[in-house]
């Protein structure tokens, strides 16, 4: 599906969603996509309106709304509490098909010895923060952007001691994330689309970071659409300027779809 990167494609996705949300599946990355990035991962804030919008969209889609994140599921649930939505966690290491359901574990946790070695890299300077995501370890340098290359080299040196091909280093927005190979968001989304209520639907995915990029090209297998946030990347159908614009778009869809349903129910 070769479409130009224009606002028309965003409008096309909106028309598709408004026509019948129960024929679509909404797949949303979290950090940098529906939530604004924060200096530290623990400082992200979920606006009340977004919680309400996600809850309404979860109902309007019949449960076919999933959060797709590098964060583990328990972290996702804490951030969005009391919501407990379908989700892909740990970059595909965890998969929860239905809201509140038991997750399927698809990947191995990172070796704790390797984690400790990597966590010690915070000694490279103030502003380097470590985030343990169970299945991966993230080293953020948003508060120390000048340390990026030094941190990259130190990570590569440590990971070189692991069995060849067993470890993957994912560069992101002022962060390096280290995880076991063999799992990613794209494979998890592909699996998610084989289960009800996602099966047979048109997926619409929104993501912002390099870890989201493998998802975009595989959406065409399901006739889906993909949208990036903050920048245009290959294989997307359009893009949003920032998370605020994504939140506004989702709220508009929920409001308009609810209004259409209310009108249809009126005597």
pLDDT digit string, tens, across residues 201-252: 999 999 999 999 999 999 999 999 999 999 888 889 888 999 999 999 999 9
Give the residue among 36, 100, 54, 91 at the shortest CA–CA distance from 69: 91
The rounded distance, in Å, linking the Cα atoms of 221 and 179 is 27
Pick the CATH number of 112-180 from 3.40.190.10, 3.30.70.1350, 3.50.50.60, 3.30.70.1020: 3.30.70.1020
Provide CATH 3.40.50.1000 ranges for the chain.
7-106+183-265
pLDDT of the residue at 64: 96
Task: Please give the CATH topology (third level) of the domain spanning 7-106+183-265.
Answer: Rossmann fold (3.40.50)
- What are the φ and ψ backbone dihedral angles of 88, each rounded to 5 degrees? -105, 120
* Residues whose CB is less than 8 angstroms from the CB of residue 139 and which lie 6 or more positions away in sequence, other chains included: 118, 121, 122, 128, 129, 130, 131, 151, 155, 175, 176, 177, 178
pLDDT of the residue at 257: 79
- Tell me which residues of the chain have a pLDDT lower than 50: 1-6, 8, 266-267
Q: Which of 9, 29, 209, 212 is catalytic?
A: 29
The rounded distance, in Å, linking the Cα atoms of 188 and 202 is 16
Q: How many CB atoms lie within 10 A of CB 61?
A: 23
Structure tokens at 246: 């994504």
Annotated catalytic residue 29: yes
What pTM was estimated for this model as a whole? 0.89
Provide CATH 3.30.70.1020 ranges for the chain.
112-180
């Amino acid at each position: 599906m070769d479409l130009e990167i224009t606002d028309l494609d965003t409008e096309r996705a909106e028309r598709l969603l408004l026509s019948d949300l129960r024929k679509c599946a909404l797949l949303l990355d979290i950090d940098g996509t529906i939530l604004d990035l924060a200096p530290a991962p623990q400082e992200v804030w979920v606006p009340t309106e977004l919680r309400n919008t996600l809850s309404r969209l979860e109902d309007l889609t019949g449960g076919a709304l999933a959060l797709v994140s590098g964060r583990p599921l328990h972290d996702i649930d804490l951030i969005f509490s009391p919501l407990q939505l379908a989700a892909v966690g740990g970059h595909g290491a965890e998969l929860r098909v239905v809201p509140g359901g038991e997750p399927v574990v698809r990947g191995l946790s990172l070796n704790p010895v390797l984690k400790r070695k990597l966590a010690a890299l915070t000694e490279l300077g103030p502003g380097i923060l470590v985030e343990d995501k169970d299945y991966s370890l993230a080293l953020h340098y948003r508060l120390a952007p000048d340390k990026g290359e030094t941190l990259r080299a130190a990570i590569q040196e440590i990971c070189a001691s692991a069995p060849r091909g067993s470890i993957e280093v994912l560069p992101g927005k002022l962060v390096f994330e280290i995880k076991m190979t063999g799992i990613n968001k794209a494979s998890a989304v592909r699996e998610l689309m084989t289960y009800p209520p996602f099966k047979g639907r048109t997926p619409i995915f929104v993501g912002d970071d390099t870890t989201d990029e493998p998802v975009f090209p595989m959406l065409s297998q399901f006739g889906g659409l993909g949208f990036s946030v903050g920048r245009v990347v290959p294989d997307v159908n359009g893009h949003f300027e920032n998370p605020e614009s994504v939140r506004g778009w989702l709220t508009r869809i929920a409001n308009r779809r609810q209004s259409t349903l209310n009108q249809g129910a009126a005597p």
